[in-house]
A and B are shown apart, each in its own frame.
Chain A
Amino acid sequence: MNWLDTIVQGLLLGGLYALFAAGLSLVFGIMRLVNLAHGDLIVLAAFLILVLVSALGLNPFVAALVAMPVMFGIGWLLQSQLFNRTLGPDILPPLLVTFGLSIVIQNALLEGFSADSRRISAGALETASLALGPVNVGVMPLLTFLSAVLVIIGLNQLFYRTALGRAFRATSDDAVIAGLMGIKPHRIFATATGIAMVVVTIAALYLGTRANFDPTVGPARLIYAFEAVIIGGLGSLWGTLAGGVIIGVAQTLGASINPEWQILAGHIAFLLVLLVRPRGLFPRAVD
């Protein structure tokens, strides 16, 4: 076993999991909403990109750019028309509603696209690779990881450098007092979910070009996303990236020992981190 290669591949895989998780982390951090349909929304975005690629003959990266505003709109509408009605002191209604939405999305996709496995073709990029010193890395995994880092940097800039980001954090701290500052929490939440859906679209691009997907794979992506968010510490975006990387490295290490252990190794790493740091690696100081 080539240790360096295994760890580098795991690191790059972690970028994909971090992309799955970043939107979840964003939404949870701002409004304490656990979106159980997050994985299915990634799959929905992947089908949207697939349709744009096959119907219009677009390059998948261009198709993702086109899909982003559409997904932002879907996120905005979902939040303003549906999720906002479920938010309150009781945490159960949002869980039930997003769980139901997950089933609705899966079945709607099954109706529309059948249960066949699909894949978005990225042409020659799919098999391209680069030699980085002693290790060969695939161009797509590298792009995935770089996208994840850029998404986290971008979201952090948004959070800590803009008026909208201040409003996000203020609303997360205390929605009633935020209202006294002229902030409309429900509108802030809708914007946040819209932005999360843009990140979901980026995740969907790499999900769809790197592996097969069908309408029912969403919940499995959701588990990795959840684990990445929780390992990293709720509400910390860099923590989410670290969490994704830990799961990715654990999975490739497990797989290199025995291919049957890939998934299991990721879950065991998750449990081990929770044993040592029950609140995750970088929990937000204020909660």
Chain B
Amino acid sequence: MTLLETRGLTARYGDFQALFGVDIALEAGEIVAIIGANGAGKTTLMRSISGVLKNAAEQIMFGGEPIGALSAPDVMARGIAMVPEGRKLFPSLSVEENLLIGKYGRAVDGPWSLETIYGLFPILKERRNSPAPALSGGQQQMVAIGRALMSNPRVLLCDEISLGLAPVVIRDIYAAFPAIRAAGASVVIVEQDVSQALKVADRVYCMMEGRVTLTGTPAALTREDIHAAYFGVRG
């Protein structure tokens, strides 16, 4: 069953159009990766789905209902949680408070709680009383993911989670996705780091200049196809 779907999604910032009719679907239980270069429209797509940017209602469907025109808190309350680009932890809150705030708008029972998130990322339990800015980049990313999981979302949106992190740290963080999927969340991963995204994703969409230029399973896509869809030129 299609859980989340965009239908001809368009988005603009004033006179600048960022998305030109994007169609993306996420099935229940799936991990989908959206890859593309800077300015391809990936973050705009995330901002549209999460409600930070408002769209026409029918352009985004979630569980069969139109959510395109809802505000961010209303989208979140329905079960779409976001790990924003750049982590964006709340600097005046401790690690544990950052996690707790994740369920402010949606406190539902489910697999994720403080204990299970500390089980997923044990280092956070040690650092739970530290102010969020005192953590390393990788630890902050773990908090950002945990914060989104606290609402027991049906869909987890991850925007550029590898940005600015060392490869070994990125590997640790990506290692958490099988557990997140097994606990019942479907996941959308937006990445510039193509190799990591291809390893965990069931399907991939490649975006360029506000359009989807390529889609398929990682196994079915060749490097050349991806290169062409990513940069617009044959490598």
Known: A172-B92, A173-B92, A286-B92. A179 touches B104 (CB 8 A): no
- From 73 to 126 in chain B, residues with beta carbon under 8 angstroms from any chain A beta carbon are 73, 76-77, 81-82, 84, 88, 90-93, 97, 100-102, 104-106
Task: With CB as the reference atom, state the residue of chain A lying closest to B97.
Answer: A166
Cβ-neighbour of B91 out of A163, A173, A182 (below 8 A): A173
Size of chain B's interface in residues, with CB distance under 8 A? 26
Answer yes or no: B50 CB below 8 A from chain A CBs: yes
Answer yes or no: B147 CB below 8 A from chain A CBs: yes
CB neighbours (8 Å) of B24 from chain A are none
Task: With CB as the reference atom, state the residue of chain A lying closest to B82.
Answer: A180
Cα–Cα, bound, A169→B82 (Å): 19
Cβ A181 vs Cβ B92 within 8 A: no
Known: A182-B77, A182-B105, A183-B104. A286 touches B91 (CB 8 A): yes
Answer yes or no: A177 CB below 8 A from chain B CBs: yes
State how many angstroms separate the Cβ of A286 from the closest Cβ of chain B. Answer: 5
Cα–Cα, bound, A249→B97 (Å): 38
Answer yes or no: A71 CB below 8 A from chain B CBs: no
- Chain A, residues 160-201, CB within 8 Å of chain B (1/0): the string is 000100110110111011111111100000000000000000
Task: With CB as the reference atom, state the residue of chain B lying closest to A235.
Answer: B92
Known: A169-B90, A169-B92. A182 touches B84 (CB 8 A): no
- Chain A, residues 262-287, CB within 8 Å of chain B (1/0): the string is 00000000000000000000001010
Cβ A182 vs Cβ B76 within 8 A: yes
State how many angstroms separate the Cβ of B134 from the closest Cβ of chain A. Answer: 11
Cβ-neighbour of A173 out of B76, B90, B102 (below 8 A): B90
State how many angstroms separate the Cβ of A234 from the closest Cβ of chain B. Answer: 13
Answer yes or no: B3 CB below 8 A from chain A CBs: no
Cβ A284 vs Cβ B92 within 8 A: yes
CB neighbours (8 Å) of B105 from chain A are 181-183
Answer yes or no: B52 CB below 8 A from chain A CBs: yes
Known: A177-B88, A180-B50, A183-B105. A166 touches B73 (CB 8 A): no
Cβ B73 vs Cβ A163 within 8 A: no
Task: With CB as the reference atom, state the residue of chain B lying closest to A160.
Answer: B97
The 20 listed contacts between A and B (C-beta, < 8 Å) are A163-B100, A166-B97, A167-B104, A170-B92, A170-B93, A170-B101, A173-B92, A176-B52, A178-B90, A180-B84, A181-B104, A181-B105, A182-B73, A182-B104, A182-B105, A182-B106, A183-B101, A183-B104, A184-B71, A284-B92
CB neighbours (8 Å) of A170 from chain B are 90, 92-93, 101, 104
CB neighbours (8 Å) of B50 from chain A are 180
